[in-house]
Structures are given as structure tokens and as C-alpha cells.
A and B are shown apart, each in its own frame.
Chain A
Amino acid sequence: MNRIDAGAAIDAYLQQHETKSLLRFITCGSVDDGKSTLLGRLLYDTKLLFDDQLAALEGDSRRHGTQNGELDFALLVDGLSAEREQGITIDVAYRFFSTDRRKFIVADCPGHEQYTRNMATGASTAELAVVLVDARKGLLTQTRRHTWICALLGIRHVLLAVNKMDLVEYAEEVFRPIESAYRELAGQMGIGQVTAIPLSALRGENISCRSSRMDWYEGPSLLEHLETVQIVRPSSDLGFRMPVQWVCRPDQGFRGYAGQVAAGALSRGDEVVVLPAGVRSRVARIVTADGDLDCARVGDAVTLTLDDERDISRGDIIAATAQPPQVADQFAANLLWMGESPLLPGRPYWLKIGTRTVTAQVTEIKHKVDVNTQEKQAAKRLLLNEVAYCNISLDQPIAFEPYEHCHELGGFILIDRQSFATIGAGTLAFALRRADNIHWQHLDVDRAARAAIKGQTPACLWFTGLSGSGKSTIANLVEKRLHAMGYHTYMLDGDNVRHGLNRDLGFTDEDRVENIRRVAEVARLMTDAGLIVLVSFISPFRSERRMARALFDAGEFREVFVDTPLEICERRDAKGLYAKARAGDIKNFTGIDSPYEPPEAPELHLQTTTASADAMAQRVVESLLD
């Protein structure tokens, strides 16, 4: 073939390649359902394995295989050595193949409950799920769990693969009851599109072509269905929405807002609104490296310029003025917890949605849902791999869409503020109240005015330390001195507040978080009133102290670490609490069976073994008035 022919052939091929649609699907099922075998078989049958990969597979099959030396397709997809040793799938693996009709990205998902977060990772970008069932076992707990997680993440199409038909003599009587039971199950979970196929991954029956062993089955083979299934995507009837990713400013003359279109379409000259601020403008140019566009559509990565200069930054959403998304700061949401430590209502986390990251708290767990039975249960906390329907509150309003309308503007992750791990994934259902209905009461007498009349700078002195470390002793001395000098103060003490405001709270982790949240809010109101507030609380967790700090203006919050070694606190034991804790009469006692996380960068670090309480109180006063 000469050069010109090759060029023309590749042009034609490129054309064909370019117009194929892409289907992203996952495979899931329990451990022994033959998921990896199915996938390996699919790659093998579609001739997508290279000779050297086959040679490696033959070697691996002899060494680790479970098929008496015959090709063990499972080894092809389990990529990690730990997975091959244990014969389980830990994390999701992505495979790529294509046929003449479509391209496919398949995410092979782990089935164990402990790896649910990895399954969710795979399912979040999929449009269809292949759910495997062993014909001999029928529907299992895992079938239910996997289907439900798919439903939770918005997968609307399921291909039920009833596998290992070779082991039940390809009998229709085995297949039909499984099919109907599954249809009922999927229907309950809101998955309308189910196609059930009897097959044998090991023998290649009904995989790439229809099996001759099951005449009674008249539907498509697995591959035929994947190639032809009509996938319905949400969001096509929404107006234009684009989260701003990056502000492009190469020079004074150009200011563009780069992002990927999340929904709708946009033409040059269209009027847009920038949310949450609500600023309006008109699109001047739709810029790309390949030249300006007249129109941008869902999925396009573009850079917009507007008619006038606006203060727009990363995280804002540019939307069609005619059909803008809602703006809110409180939501009902479904949440999958993926953290090793539990979700505690009231604890602040980072929430990333679109290109925006805000601080969020779960204000209430409405109920958790048993992932295996979908039974609703009351809960005060969520553990790893638990799912709940809950209320979420943000520290600032965001523009959003319900997840079922738009995954890009309705799906979010939660990030732990200390470990920085991704510990939650959720889908917004609806706004609990619209942010545009909230108006802060405008007050002419503001905090500055109130502070001025007292002639002082308000502050919050936050004393933290073990029980018996001397927090209250020192705080009392500080307050006396300040009072004597004419300052307006107030002392919030752990024991006192627990008798009144926080009478309903105990000492579990959740209650400790709520305890601190309330006290911090009260302290903030008091500084608003112009006072110098002294807070004396064990406050054992860094994240809550950070939450408290975040409520105050810079410099207003001063963390005072009253550092007394545990042995000394225990020796003093003024209230006899340590003795009771050691005896097991008090549970969750800080320092004994509940952790104390010392401050990393307190404004003041008082080592009580080195100086008298008086001297340390003096240090606090000096630092405050400095």
C-alpha cells in the first residue's frame, strides 16, 4: 500500500473511530460469581488481548490459576499482587475495548463490603452496570447491596448476567425465577431498565454471540446488548451551566473563565448569570485553542469572556439567565461514608462540588439505610461503608442541581480537614431552604460599636487541656485580673455549661462535638456583644477547636494549651474522676479511654509544671493586652 492510500485509509478509519459512541459500564457481583472471568472472556473473545499479554496469562495461570492450568481469565484483570495472592478484587480496574459499533470503558469493581468505596468510585462514572449472579445461588445479599449502590449513584440500566449456566445444565427453570426476583428488586430501587441474560463466562456461552445451548433464550448476547443498549442520560434539558475552574489572565487585555460545560449549551451573545453572587453579563467570546466557537455544548472544555469585567473566581458557576440553577446552603442528601473514623454530626468537613470547596456539617442524620437490606434505622453517627439520608449545612451558599438532573452539579465528596482523606461521597436531593430567602438583619449597632462603648477589643481565650490540668484555675485568675483592670469579661466553664445549656449531652464523641459547637457559638455571640470571653473546656479534638476558631475573626481567637502531664492530673484528681474512670465507672474519659489531641500551634502553651498558676495567668493577661 502506498503512502497516499495509507493516509486515506487512516482518514476513513479516524472518521469511523470518531463517530462511535462510548459506553462506560461496571461489572459487579460477589466474590465467586465469576466477574473477572467474564471480563477476561470478553477481552479474549473480542480479540483485544495481545500475544505477550496472553503469554503472561498462560504463565500466571500455571502459577496462581484455579483452572487446573487452563487459562484463568480472572488473573488478567486482578492487577495487584495482593489481589492475585488472595484471589479477591480490592480496587476497581479500568479496561478499554471497542467493537465495530461502540467503544467501552469497563470498571471491574470489587464485591466485598469492605471495599464499597472502591465500588462507588467505579460506579460514579458508569452508565450501565453488569450485575453477576451465580445461577446455582440466585440473588445474594451482595446482589442487593451492589444494585442499591448503583441506584444510589444514578445508574439506570442493569444487565443481569446469570452466570455459570453450564453448572445447571443450561436450564430455563433455573434462570426464570432469578430473573423475575431480580426485576422486582431493581424495581423497588428505582432501576427501570433491566435486561437479564443467561450465560457461562467460563465456556463463552452468550458472551460475544448467542449460545446454541440455550434455545429457549431469545434475547441478545452480552456483547450484543452492550453494543446496542440505548442509554438515557440526565441533564439534557437543563439550561447552560459551567463551573469556573480557572481564571485565565495572560495580560491586561484578556480575562477569560475556563471550565467544562456541565449542562446545556451556550451561544456567543447569550446572557448569563454568575452564581452564587447573581451578577449578570453577556458572553463576548467562546475561546478555545482551535479558534473561537459559536456554540459550546455539554462536555466541552472552553474559556469564556464576558462583555464587562466582573469579579468572578474559581468555584463560581456561569449559567443561563433564563434558566438558572438554585442557590442554597442547606440540603437533604444521600451520603456514603468512606472514612475510617465515624461521621459525627456537627463536625466540620470540606465539601467539594464542581470546582467549589466549602465547609460543611451534617446537621442531622435523618436515618441510615442498611446497605444489605435497605432497612431504615435511626443513627447518631455513621461508620465506614454506611449510607444515610441526612441534612447538610454549608458555611456559604452554592449553586447546584439535584443529582438526578445533573451529576456534575449534584455529586459531592467530603474531605477530612486533618487527614485530608476523601471520607464521604454524596448526592444532593433538594435544598432545605433557598439561600436567597435568608437576609441577615441589618443592625446599625454593630460589633465595633459595642466593643467601642466598652473600650476594649473583644476576644475569646480558649483554654484546652486534660481534666485536672488547671484550666479553670488559671482562667479564673485571668478573669479576676482583667476585671480588676476594668475589662468586661465572661467565663464559660465546662461543668457550668453542662448543667444548663448542654444538659442533654453526654460524653460520646458525637455529643462532645455538639457540646463544643454550642459553646463556640455562644462565645462568638458574646464577643459580638463586645466581651472578652474565657472558655475553659477539655475540648479534646483538634477539629472542634479548629471549628471554634473558624467562627472568629483573625486574631480574636486565642488557643491556650494548659499542658499538664496525665500522671500529674491523675495524681491530683481533685474531683475523683480519674479513679472512677480507671475503675470503669465513667466511660469515654479523656486521657483514659478517649483521646486528647494536643494543639499543634496554640497561641499560648502553658507548661504547668514549670511555673505557678499566678505567673501563668499573668502571661495570659500580658499576651492579651499586648
Chain B
Amino acid sequence: MIQKDKDGFLLQLQQHRLIIYKICNAYCKNTSDRDDLAQEITYQLWRSFHHFNGSVKFSTWMYRVALNVAITFYRKTKTSEAIIQLGEPDTEIEDRKEDSAELEKNKNLLQQFINELKELDKALMILYLEEKTYSEISEILGVTETNVATRISRIKDKLKQRFLTVNN
């Protein structure tokens, strides 16, 4: 049972903070936008928290709010954003020595490919990569499971093709 007060909210926020970070990273290309979006998501989560009735998992509810806010935010700011060049490392995230160059390259490529997807496809792929079930994804997005499966398969094929093109 989740406490419906400020402490309960902060606890949930702390436990699920990576959801916010990943969504911000996928929908924004610079630090200032990411911070703005993170705060906007937190604001909307807090605003909606008293409506949360436990009929779905907290993470499912959080994905809905966070993705809705991110898509709305993205649609408002995307015109001023520059496209990240292919293979360019994400300067906002420090490199770690222990990561191999190959892994680092592929992580950046995946991030870039995800960034380039349309708003709704991006949401779909984030949920897929987060290992949500088709049933959960359909609940969060409001589309049928068949639709989810078909779309994921198409996007995965595209991603694989792009990896092949870049790596060969």
C-alpha cells in the first residue's frame, strides 16, 4: 500500500527516478531541457498523485504521466532542437574508462536511433526496452496488444538495419 502523503510520494519518486531520467534523456537533447522536463514531470506527478488509486502498478501510472508530459513537452520544443550527428558521443554523459569503445559506440547509437523515432514510437520502444509486457505497454499507450506487437517488430527491424548499416 502506497502512502498518499508527501513522504510516500518522495519515496516512490526516489525508487522510480530512473524512469524519469530515461524518458528525459530520450525526449531531450540538452541538459537544460532535460532538467526542465524532469521538473515538469515531477510537478505533474505530484499534481496527479492524489488521483492514483492503485488500480494499476505505480510504475505503470508513472510511465503514463511521464510519457504524456514528455511528448507534450517535446512537441513544444522540438522545432528549436538540432539533430545529433551520427556516432557523435553524448557530451552530457561522461565516459567511463571501463566501458569498451565498442559498447560505448553502440550505446550512443541506440540512444540516437531512439531519439530519432516519432514521439509515439519512441514511447513504445522505451517501454519495450524497459521490458514491460505487451499487456502493460498496451495499457500505458491505449492501443491493442496486437498493435503493440506489430509496431515493435517493425521498429526493431528498422533499428537492426540501421545498426548493420552503421557498423559495416
Q: Is chain B a partner of chain A in the same complex?
A: no
User: Which residues of B are interface residues toward A (Cβ below 8 A)?
Assistant: none
